[in-house]
């Protein structure tokens, strides 16, 4: 088994937003510091030399004392073992948090949807924009912004990202609503928007020496894609179950009767700890089957027969959130992947990649 390079702590399933595209079920579960200590201590011998320890929610700033206790424990007992990350909606972010993140060298991901932010929580716009301003001033190297676009908001993609650049935010990502069906007309708009923003990124790279877009380029020439959940990463969820990646919990965590629950859940913390040597490899072997060449589309077209196989990477859980079945990819995702590749092959994208 590989060394573990990433642990995610989903501190609670509470959130102060109800974003329309969020696949998480909200609840009232919260991890305790004792659970986190047990989880970290058990995995100590398997950790990579420098592993990521990520804080996630719900909204993790609702569990702020737990973030501080975990960081104190990790720094005292694991020395320089961890790099910290945290994903937040930004609405509760204050100066105190930013200074703490800067001191402990966190890598932050703040989700902010530009003009579409009002669809998430109309009252949040001023607070999140204030948080972004604080980050830009106090910890400019420590954060990236992720914006989610839906078929309805995709016509705003390029303008929204350009506005963030204009405001001085230099690390941007975008994601697409995985659950909504993307129609042909939506995809055509997406292609135009990506082309426009790629040209802006190329210009920015010439100007600043670095392109602002941080979305990974599918397989980046590393051969056939495989999900690494359960092999180089694990997640502890607020109901104290352990999964290969927190996304599996969104898909399966609330349906224990689904046969895939047993297949991909490592069990509750006590069971995970007791059966670590025996149970762990069996579940890990199930995760190892989540490879792009074993996937197929809703039309039953096999990825293994696709000309684009070695350039394509689809998260099996994100696909399953739309199709309901792991390893089955919605047809619009194939179209989306083709669009992304066409855009990547344009001269502006080549400039960004330094070709």
Among 315, 321, 328, 351, which residue interacts with ligand SF4 (rule: CB under 6 A)?
315
Stretch that binds ligand SF4, among 82-90, 164-172, 276-284, 301-309 (CB under 6 A): 301-309
Retrieve residue 158's tokens.
Answer: 């390029």
CA 160/CA 267 separation, integer angstroms? 42
Q: Is 51 in the site for ligand SF4 (CB under 6 A)?
A: no
- Closest approach, Cβ 157 to ligand SF4, in A, equals 21
Q: Is 227 in the site for ligand SF4 (CB under 6 A)?
A: yes
Q: Is 231 in the site for ligand SF4 (CB under 6 A)?
A: no
* DSSP secondary structure code for residue 213 in this structure: B
- Closest approach, Cβ 329 to ligand SF4, in A, equals 5
Burial class (CB in 10 A: 0-12, 13-18, 19+), 284: middle
CA 312/CA 325 separation, integer angstroms? 19
Radius of gyration of the CA atoms of the chain, in A: 20
Q: Where are the alpha helices (DSSP H) in the chain?
A: 33-43, 64-78, 95-103, 125-138, 157-166, 184-208, 246-252, 259-264, 269-274, 276-287, 316-323, 331-344, 347-352
- Among residues 94 and 310, whose Cβ is nearest to ligand SF4? 310
- Closest approach, Cβ 184 to ligand SF4, in A, equals 16
Burial class (CB in 10 A: 0-12, 13-18, 19+), 154: buried
- Site residues for ligand SF4, 270-299, by CB under 6 A, read 292, 295, 297
- Closest approach, Cβ 333 to ligand SF4, in A, equals 6
Among 47, 178, 229, 283, which residue interacts with ligand SF4 (rule: CB under 6 A)?
229
Residues of this chain that bind ligand SF4 (CB under 6 A): 227-229, 245, 247, 292, 295, 297, 301, 303, 306, 308-309, 312, 314-315, 317, 329, 333-334, 337
């Amino acid at each position: 088994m590989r060394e573990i390079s990433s642990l995610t702590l989903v501190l609670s399933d509470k959130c102060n937003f109800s974003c329309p595209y969020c696949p998480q079920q909200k609840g009232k579960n919260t991890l305790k510091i004792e659970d986190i200590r047990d989880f970290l201590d058990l995995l100590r011998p398997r950790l990579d030399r420098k592993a990521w320890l990520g804080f996630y929610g719900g909204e993790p700033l609702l569990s702020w004392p737990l973030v501080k206790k975990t960081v104190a424990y990790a720094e005292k007992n694991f020395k320089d073992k961890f790099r910290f990350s945290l994903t937040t909606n930004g609405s509760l972010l204050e100066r105190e948090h930013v200074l703490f993140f800067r001191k402990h060298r966190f890598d932050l991901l703040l989700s902010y949807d530009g003009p579409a932010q009002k669809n998430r929580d109309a009252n949040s716009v001023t607070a999140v924009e204030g948080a972004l301003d604080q980050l830009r001033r106090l910890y400019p190297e420590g954060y990236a912004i992720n914006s989610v676009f839906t078929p309805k908001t995709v016509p705003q993609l390029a303008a929204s990202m350009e506005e963030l650049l204009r405001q001085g935010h230099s690390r941007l990502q975008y994601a697409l609503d995985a659950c909504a069906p993307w129609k042909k007309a939506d995809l055509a708009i997406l292609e135009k928007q990506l082309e426009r923003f790629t040209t802006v990124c190329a210009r920015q790279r010439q100007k600043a020496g670095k392109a602002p877009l941080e979305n990974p380029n599918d397989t980046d020439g590393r051969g056939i894609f495989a999900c690494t959940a359960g092999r180089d990463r694990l997640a502890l969820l607020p109901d104290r179950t352990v999964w290969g990646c927190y996304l599996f919990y969104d898909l399966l965590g609330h349906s224990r009767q689904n046969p895939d629950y047993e297949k991909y859940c490592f069990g509750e913390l006590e069971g995970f700890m007791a059966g670590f040597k025996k149970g762990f490899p069996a579940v890990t072997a199930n995760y190892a089957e989540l490879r792009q060449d074993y996937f197929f589309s809703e039309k039953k077209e096999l990825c293994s027969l696709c000309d684009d196989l070695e350039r394509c990477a689809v998260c099996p859980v994100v696909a399953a959130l739309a199709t309901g079945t792991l390893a089955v990819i919605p047809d619009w995702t194939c179209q989306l992947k083709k669009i992304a590749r066409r855009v990547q092959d344009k001269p502006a994208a080549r400039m960004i990649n330094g070709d």
